[in-house]
């Protein structure tokens, strides 16, 4: 199942997440399995659907935000960038940097650690002594503040 997810997502960490979500979904809906097909076929379809939903979500998120990660996991194949696209991307990056500079230090540190640095909310919570739910809430609010600063 992992190789199926990997073929669709082209990202090892995403494939693992997709398979985990697919198996959770399969366990949740095991009672609705009719038995018309083999269970492996049913699981395969769930994995493919989860992977496709992951791709759609990544495309939607990529369209709304400038890339903050180091490119370790390129969800979509890179294509030749036109000069207009490059200009737009650079302008979005500049706006994002300006917005980050205007954020409170705590918000900036949280966003850079969790979104840009790859730190999980749980790890950040353990490091700062906060509850994980509080970290998630603060990250949500920080992203909202950043979006308000970046949007024209």
pLDDT bracket for residue 80 (50, 70, 90) = low
Q: Is the pLDDT of residue 10 over 80?
A: yes
107 pLDDT higher than 50: yes
3-state secondary structure (DSSP) of residue 24: helix
Considering the entire predicted model, what is its pTM?
Answer: 0.44
Helices (H), 29-82: 39-64
Q: Between the CA atoms of 26, 27, 30 and 36, what dihedral angle is there, to the nearest 10 degrees? A: 30
Which domains does the chain carry? 2-63 (1.10.1740.10), 83-150 (1.10.10.10)
pLDDT at 76 over 60: no
């Amino acid at each position: 199942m992992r190789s199926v997810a990997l073929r669709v997502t082209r990202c090892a960490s995403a494939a693992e997440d997709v398979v985990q979500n697919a198996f959770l979904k399969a366990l949740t809906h095991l009672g609705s399995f009719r038995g018309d097909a083999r269970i492996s076929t049913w699981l395969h379809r769930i994995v493919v659907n989860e992977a496709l939903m992951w791709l759609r979500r990544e495309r939607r998120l990529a369209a709304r935000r400038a890339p903050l990660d180091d490119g370790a996991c390129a969800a979509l194949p890179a294509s030749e960038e036109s000069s207009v696209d490059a200009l737009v991307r650079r302008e979005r990056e500049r706006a994002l940097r300006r917005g980050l500079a205007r954020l409170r230090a705590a918000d900036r540190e949280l966003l850079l650690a969790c979104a840009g640095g790859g730190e999980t909310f749980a790890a950040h919570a353990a490091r700062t002594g906060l509850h994980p739910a509080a970290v998630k809430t603060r990250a949500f609010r920080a992203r909202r503040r950043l979006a308000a600063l970046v949007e024209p």
